[in-house]
Amino acid sequence: MSFGIYAPWALGIGALRSWSAAALLAVEAQQVIGLRIAGLAGFWKLPAGESSRMVSEKLSAFPEAGQALGQAMLSGTAPMALYGTWSAPLMRRAQANRKRLGRGAAKQWGGSAPRHRR
């Protein structure tokens, strides 16, 4: 008996990957939020237009994620892999924001930008 992509163990691995993608996105988003709040509170100088950028960037990131999800669904991607496909564009944006905002914090405080080890 062959289950293919719907084998019980494959669903468990797919769920684990989806949950880990969600957790990583949540961590990245929280770091960006913390860096922005600290910058808006005056702990360091934020780039010009940062307060409007934090809203406008979402207007392009979520449709991009939706398009990636739609393409993955139409191409027959396994259901458990869809969250990772949807969250990848959001994760790229969050990582880029964390690096960009972290550089400003590092310049102000003389440290290095926050980063994840892989």
Q: How far apart are CA 17 and CA 79, in angstroms?
A: 12
Asked if the model's pLDDT at residue 118 lies above 60, the reply is no
Residue pLDDT, tens place only, 7-54:
666 667 777 888 888 899 999 999 999 999 998 898 888 888 888 888
Q: How far apart are CA 13 and CA 78, in angstroms?
A: 12
Place of tokens 């739609």: 70
Place of tokens 């163990």: 9
The stretch 53-63 carries a mean pLDDT of 90
Other CB atoms within 10 A of residue 95 CB: 17
pTM above 0.85, yes or no: no
Residue pLDDT, tens place only, 70-117:
999 999 988 878 888 889 999 999 999 999 888 877 777 666 555 655
